[in-house]
Amino acid sequence: MKRFQYFTILILLSLEIIMINSCKKIERNMPPIAKKSAQKMEIHGHTRIDNYYWLKERENDDVIKYLEQENDFLEKQLKHTESLQQAIFDEISERIKAEDSSVPYKDNGYFYYIRYEEQKEHPIYCRKNNNLQEKEEILINVNELSLGFPYYHLIDYAVSPNNNILAYSIDTIGRRKYEIRFKNLKTGKEYNDIIQNTDGEVEWASDNKTIFYIKKDDETLREYQLWKHILGTSEKEDILVYEEDDDAFSLSVSKSKSDKYILLESSSTISSECRYIKSDKPNDNFNIVIPREKNHEYSVETHGESLYILTNYGGAKNFKIIKTTFEKIEPKFWEEVIPYNKDVFIEDFEVFKDYIVVNERKNGLIYLKIINLIDKSEYYLDCGEEVYEIWISDNAEYNIDVLRYGYSSLTTPNSYFDYNMKTKEKILLKEKFAGKNFLKSNYETKRINATAKDGKKIPISIVYKKGISLNNENPLLIYAYGSYGYSIDASFRSSILSLLNRGFVFAIAHVRGGQELGRKWYEDGKLLHKKNTFTDFITCTEFLQKQGYSKPELTFAMGGSAGGLLTGAVSNMRPDLYIGIISQVPFVDVITTMLDESIPLTTGEYDEWGNPNEKKYYDYMLSYSPYDQVKKQKYPAMLITAGLHDSQVQYWEPAKWVAKLREYNTSNAPIYLHTNMDAGHGGMTGRYKTYKETSLIYAFMLDLLK
């Protein structure tokens, strides 16, 4: 009897242990459950219930605890991929040159460049006087400044006209509220002057003591005030020069290429206005170049006594370039340098004494047009590839015949050239290191087009390792952005090699909402046409699958910020097309955010998304807003990221979205949230650390393919 009792007890204990372990296993594999607290929101006679609204309470300990639990859950669930994550991180790190430097450019007698030291995360800003054989002078070593900070970003710096004082702007949180500091470059000592809560821009007047900077609104973070600071004085003594009262507009300050003028631009999504003073008269009042008008955008650059203006005035949707003077600013005096062309979109331009270089976009590709201002001849730089990106680089000098430009493609690492516009000679200065085993000939890139239901041809840039078969057995990662008129060009991404080398096809869908095909392409993907962005992406996915590049079981979608809105909308509309979706800092709670004027960027973006206080925009937003459109259905696996200090997309948008997706998802596919507790919209700083999250994302994708 005792023996029987002994074995019975033993069996019961064993069962209990098994049950406990089983429960622990279930508990470990169960995601955090966000509590529900109904928030009723009513407008236009319509009511929405948001059960996760409470996650907006940043100072609430329960919110932080929940975000940490989500991070812990993700870490445990993907713990078996740690070695894979490390392998991918090592691969990407190997493509970063241990000791590297940028191509020097000349400005005001000095050659400026950035260099990196082995195993160091941050840049060292340097210069040399007169020629590159002179002794190096270190302006600022960000590695030293960043010690003790999990996040440290130096966004900009400006050297005084006499070359003796450095102003630089830093953010140590990730909120994009920059602090301006000053350093004496002769003595190496820091000034006591510290200016808080700026956008990071700073411009010197000619007197070497007066600087102009932009203040941000404490709550909305809108750049709304221009201030003047005198070196050696307290910030409390600074003078407010101009305040932008229209909350749809934001300010920026810059200098003309000649350094003779300080320019203040006030801009919204569809309008702009520029003011100016002479740099040697910092106490003058700013004069308006052209008074603002709705739907008129323009930018200016000086050229001797003349002005070149990039403008869409008079219905020139794709912009034109005109020449005039400050004294003859009315349109009747304008001389057209490049007339409006409905098939060519002008993005920007660079002036030299004898030349003007124009950045044009046509048929989805960028071209650099060089115009000789003396003999009026013009021609385009030859790019030599089917799919590429080209841009105007650092060109601080005015009286020179040499253009510095950058070039890249899906198979060509970022390269920098000096091009002699007089002799047409081209010199390759540097091609960025992409790994000791990298050969561009191992990869193939092309541009193809998918056809939308309305007949529009949507360009797709693709790259893959040579030798793949179009048998629908290739993993596919398709990426897009599609907002603000921002174009995603086919540039080199060294991290993507880790996917290409594992058989992936990488595709960029140039959907409406960008400006790849001109201003109309943008307008057809905003406001009451926003859904074109999402359906274009779906069309591109279906096209690539029909062409044999992949199939739904092997296809991933990726987008970030407004591109996360895209992937969020697509996840509701066609979840069946993807095995996995990656949404990085996604803008998904569209209506709630756009109704809250205290949130950064809200009022300034009514021209992009619409104002939901108007019923027609409210109804349209509601029809696609990813958070509002979550429903009972099978969602693919999803990895969603956030930044606790994000000022662009508040962390609670992805956090709320994940909680709601989990509630409604009827599939067994995992849905993960990763919140960076030490960073903002752009993730971690540091040339290596920034790829930790990339390695996590790639491991998540590869794990799903097992």
Q: Which tokens hold the place of 683?
A: 């993730």
- Spatial neighbors of 465 by CB under 8 A, at least 6 apart, are 442, 443, 444, 500, 501, 503
* 561 catalytic per annotation: yes
Contact criterion met (CB below 8 Å) for 338 and 352: no
Q: Is 112 helix (H, G, I), strand (E, B) or coil?
A: strand
* 681 catalytic per annotation: yes
The CA angle 302-307-312, to the nearest 5 degrees, is 115
* 645 catalytic per annotation: no
Reduced to 3 DSSP states, what percent helix, strand and coil does the chain have, rounded to the nearest 5? 25, 35, 40
Edge-to-edge order in the sheet of strand 320-324: 298-303, 306-311, 320-324, 335-338
Q: Choosing from 483, 491, 681, 695, which is the catalytic residue?
A: 681
Report the residue count for the chain: 706
> At residue 276, what are phi and psi to the nearest 5 degrees?
-150, 155
> At residue 640, what are phi and psi to the nearest 5 degrees?
-120, 130
Q: Is 682 helix (H, G, I), strand (E, B) or coil?
A: coil
Q: Choosing from 199, 646, 674, 695, which is the catalytic residue?
A: 646
Distance CA 585, CA 683 (A): 9
**Selection from 123, 128, 122 nearest residue 105 by Cα:** 128
**Selection from 606, 604, 625, 624 nearest residue 614 by Cα:** 606
Q: Choosing from 561, 583, 625, 647, which is the catalytic residue?
A: 561
394-410 burial code (b ≥16 CB/10 A, e <16): bbeeeebebbbbbbbbb
Name residue, tokens 């070695």: 83
Surface-to-core class of residue 677, CB atoms within 10 Å of its CB (0-12 exposed, 13-18 middle, 19+ buried): middle
Instruction: Indicate which residues carry an active-site annotation.
Output: 561, 646, 681
